[in-house]
Structure formats: C-alpha cells, structure tokens
Structure 1
Amino acid sequence: MKKKVILYRTLPEAELARLRDAFDVIEFADLKNANQVDFLTELSTADGLIGAGLPLGAQQLDSATQLKAISTISVGTDAFDLDYLSARSIPVMHTPTVLTETTADTIFTLILCTARRAIELDRFVRQGEWTKSVGVEQFGSNVHGKTLGILGMGRIGSAVARRGHHGFGMNIQYYNTSAKPQAEQEFGAKKVSFEELIETSDFICSVLPYTEQTDKLFNKEAFAKMKSSAFFINGGRGKTVDEAALIEALKHNVIKGAGLDVYEKEPLPSSSELIGLDNVVLFPHIGSATHETRYAMAQCAVDNLINALNGDLSQNCANLRQLNQ
C-alpha cells in the first residue's frame, strides 16, 4: 500500500505525476476556511505533507499522529515550529540550493533600481514629464566602486557578493555569525560588526532569516546610524524590519532609498505608506519567481519527500541537527 501524502500547493503536471506514482496523494491546492476541516481530517492519517505558504504549528499538527515527513517548496521554514517537529522526530525538508542564483539576481536588480531610480524614472517618461534633458533632479547614484554590506553571508549572500565584486568592482563587507573564508578569499570580503556595517556601507543588503534575534533588527536606531546617502535592500525576511521606522527614515531622508522584496505583512496592504514614496522600489516577493527556478523548486521538493519517506535525510533536511541530538 502506498503512503498517504497531502499536497497543499499546485505542482507542475510532471511533478504531480511523479508524486502520484510514489504516493496516494490527497490534493488541497486552494486551501480556504471552507475546507480547513477536511484538510485537518485527511492530515490526521497522512504520512507526508508537501506544499508552501501555510503556517503549520502544533495546533494543526498534533492530530497528525502518523506524519513522518514534511517537504516545503521553499528555502524558508518560517511556517513550521522546527523544535516541535524535531521533538516528534519529523524531518522538514526544504529547497535551499535551487533558488540561490535567481534570488541573487532579484536582489541585485533591487540594488540597481534603487540607485538609478529606475522605477521612478520609468514613470517620469510614461507620464510625459520628459520634455527636456534630465537635470540633477533626476540623477541617480553610482553602484560601481561603492561599498556593499551584506547581512547573512550564506549561499544567497555569497552570490550577491560575487555579482557586486566581480561585476561592479564593489568593496564587500559582511555581518555573519561565523567567518566565511571563501568569501574573504574570492571577493576580498571583510567581516565586520553589525554597527560597522550599517554605518559604513553604501548599500546595506539583508538576506537574514527571521528569528527572535533578528526581529525588527532594522529599527529607528539602526536607520539613524546609516549614511544619509545609503540604500537599504531587503531580500531576506520582512519581519526583520520595523516597517514604520523605515517609512519615517525614507520620508525624512534619513537614508537615500530602499529596495524591498519582502514585508512585515504580505501581500503588502494597499494602505501602506510605502506605496506613496518615490524613494523605495517595491517588488511582490519575487525572489525566486522565474519559470525555471519555480519548476526546479517543485522538482526538488518532490525528490525531498520521496527521499525522506524512504529514510534518506542526507540532503536538504532543515532540522537534521535537531533530529540527531
């Protein structure tokens, strides 16, 4: 008899077919309040769970007594209580490698768009305001040769550093819990404190995960320490930023600009003051959103679940260390 798996996110047809070949699949591609009870009922007898975008904690999973593995179609595991799942010996599989380069592309796009005011000046042209040669009112800022400060020198941070160093001759400095000798050797990256990074960088680029320690790490005090010419870029997690403080910093030119792909609340509410500010570029959380990468993520997530339910946790297990303790 095939193991029972709950799918709560749409998959490409080929990957759905692979999943069905391996398991008895129950689909909830569009979870709403109306089918939450059915979802939890099916989950109570499931061996595996695969999907993304749904917070699942003890309240939802306590009754899933047969659950043996979870596979999330994402690199982030914010939706899960890893300590709780580890205590139950349930591995959480994720997709940390396949989206690295695409997300780094997105982050560097934010850097370029904010520095050269690309979105603002696109509107300038479309609205018929370009009636003569541009003046200082439309000037942007250089990217090449500037100092790029990266918070979180993991896979994505390193990929951003590579683009900055080799592509734009940027000086790289980073803040990370541990030293990254490879980044230091390849990009001339310098490990610095949080305070030194935000005080001396021209571009402050965060790819930090959300934890208790990073909750609203970028607050009023942090923005006040940045250069008035600095740009803040967030491609990590929205809740690492005190959004109200960022809005005030942008409104009063405490910093020059910002580029955001993540927010405290997503989708970004239409009432957010960020929307009315010209000196911020807003992306709708598109870090990995290309056809190729999203397909690769789905493929990786299916592989991860198959491997995990066969007892192989050697790749992409987010809580492997906790499980081995």
Structure 2
Amino acid sequence: MAPKVLVTRILPPQTQAHLLEQDFDLFQWQQDCCIPRDVLLEKIKGVDALFCLLTEKIDNELLDAAGPQLRVIATMSVGYDHIDVNAVKSRNIALGYTPDVLTDATADLTVLLALGASRRIKESIRAAENGQWGKWAPTWLCGSQFTNKTLGIVGLGRIGEAVGERLKAFNVGRIIYSGRTEKPSAQAKLNAEFVSFGTLLQESDVIVVCCALTKDTENLFNYEAFSKMKKSVVFINSARGGIVHQDDLVRALDENLIGAVGLDVTTPEPLPPTHKLYTFPNCVILPHVGSATYETRENMAGMTLQNILAGLDNRSLPYSI
C-alpha cells in the first residue's frame, strides 16, 4: 500500500516534479496560501508523513488528530519554533528541517535592509514616485553610511557571521556581538569582540538581529532595550518577529529613540497593512523574503523531500532535529 503523505503547499518546480514521481497516496494543498487549520486537522488523519512549512503549528492537537500512523514530519524551514519538538519526539516521530541552506540568501537580504534603512530608501522611492524630487539640495534625504561605525550582531551563528563578512566590505570600524556563548572561530574571522547585550545596545551604530527565537530571546528587544540604544541607531531584524516586542518598537519610533528600522519579520505575519509600523517613514518592512531566491527555495524543498523519503524508508533523516 502506498504511504499516505500530506504536503501543505505547492513546491518549487523541480521538487514538485520529483514529488509527483513518488508512489504516494498524496494530498497536497493547491492554493497559494496557508492551508486552513481545520483542513489540516482533517487531512492529517492517518497520514504516514507530513511535509509542512513554518506557517503550520505542529502541536499536540495536530499530533492527536494524525494518529499513530504518522512516522515523519519534515519542515521546509531552518527555524522550528512552530513545532512542539518534545511532543513530536515523545511519539517517536522522526523530525527534519533544512539547516545550512539559506545563510547566503538571508545574509544578502539583511544587508539590503541595513543599507536601505540607513540610506532612507523608503522615503527616496516615495519622493521619486510622488513628484517630490526637486533640484539637488545639500541635505535632502541624507542618511548615514557604515564607514568607521560599530556593527552589533545579536547571535553570531552562520547567518550572523555571513552578515558580518558582508558588512566588513563597507568599512565598518568595529564589530561586536552578543549571544549565549562566545564564537572563537567566527570572532577571529571578523575580528569581532564578544560583549554583553547591554554593551552592544549602548555602543552599536547598527544592530542586526540574527539569533533564534527561544524562550530567552522572546521580546528581547523591548522598550528598555530600545531606550539604551543610540538615537541614530539602525536596527535590523531578519530573524523572527517574536524577538522584538512590537508595541514597544512602535513606542520607540513614536518617541524618536531609533534612527531607522528594517524588518523582514513581524508579529503577526502577514502584518496587516493598517498597522502603525507602516506609517513611519524611517521603518522599512519586507514580507519575510529572507530566503526568497529560486536557488534557496528549491534547495529547501529538496532537502525536505529527502527527509520525507528517508523517514518513510525507516532510514535516519539526513537533516534531522
């Protein structure tokens, strides 16, 4: 009997074709949107494998609905804060993700946000489009550059290191970082200095958030944190929206405590177009496109399918959590 597999979204072309070649009893959500929770809970019943995204909450309710036949869950994501890992593993379900695949794409996007926010790209585009572009003026739409500035990286993992390597090319004067532990190898590559979180907040001209969302980092950037930053700081978050207390960010922008902000992640996602964050001219918001290159998304989907195939074959997952 063919294994029953649930896939919660249409995949990039190469992996989609490979998926359809498999001898699966396949249900795949066909619409270009998140599978509704009630549909997911209904279709998960009796499946052998679940191919999911970070948009699906994998919790006890879903696992109970699936039943004992579920053998493998593979998420097409590097982060897995949407999964109750303990609940999955307590049921002896193999669990996979896609590590080390989106570093370059996300680092590129993070640098894009940093440059865009610091050089007032949102205001500049609007000025050109809305007819505000007049004769050249010495101080009109002047932003800041990174030369000799202090870059602070929160979370010097693979993505944080890649961001640091890229921004070094813009002649930053100093790189500092904070996190749970020191990272000697990355520190040596970047000539970076490990500092306390408080020191990073106070001394950085550019702050880039690259850490994972955990109980320790949830709402790490709150009003108190924003109050300690330089008022000219460029603040960038391309990690997870929950690391920032969003109402406190709004308050900090209202009180001009921050020079510029660039966000690729928010809470919730999608962020409603009526949200106040959009009203600030110095706040650039992107719709969580950090890994959105054809190359990266195809790699992520391919790795996830490899995990599904391995789990169904009772082999160790090549990319397991």
Shared fold per TM-score greater than 0.5: yes
TM-score where L is the length of structure 1 = 0.91
**Letter of the aligned partner of 2:252 in structure 1?**
A
Could you say which residue in structure 2 is the equivalent of 1:247?
250
Shift of 1:225: 0.3
| Contact 2:4/2:48 (8 A) holds in 1 | yes
The one-letter amino acid paired with 1:40 is L
Residues 1-325 of structure 1 mapped to structure 2, 5 A cutoff = 1-24=1-24, 25-30=26-31, 33=36, 36-37=38-39, 39-52=40-53, 53-64=55-66, 65-313=68-316, 315-318=318-321
**What's the offset of the Cα at 1:314?**
5.6
**Percent of residue pairs bearing the same amino acid type:** 37
After the TM superposition, which parts of structure 1 deviate over 4 Å for at least 4 consecutive aligned residues?
none
With normalisation by structure 2, the TM-score equals 0.92
Pick which of 284-293 and 15-24 moved more.
15-24
Separation in structure 1 between the aligned mates of residue 42 and residue 256 of structure 2, nearest angstrom: 53
Q: Structure 1's 307 and 144: CA in aligned 2 closer, same or farther, altered over 3 A?
A: farther
SS of match in other structure, 2:296? helix
Shift of 1:137: 4.1
Task: Report SS of the residue matched to 1:138.
Answer: coil
Structure 1: how far apart are the matches of 2:23 and 2:44? Answer: 14
Gapped runs of 5+ residues in structure 1?
Answer: 319-325
Contact conserved, 1:164 with 1:170, CA < 8 A, in 2? no
**d(CA) in 1 for partners of 2:124, 2:75:** 38
Q: How many residues align structurally?
A: 316
Q: Report the Cα offset of residue 230 of structure 1.
A: 0.7
Note the C-alpha offset of 1:199: 1.0
SS in 1 for 2:295: helix
Q: Which moved more, 1:206-215 or 1:11-20?
A: 11-20
SS at match of 2:21: helix
The letter for the 1-side match of 2:289 is I
CA distance in 1, matches of 2:85, 2:173: 37
2:65 counterpart SS class: coil
Cα distance change on mapping 1:193 and 1:289 into 2, 3 Å: same
Q: Secondary structure at the match of 1:85?
A: helix
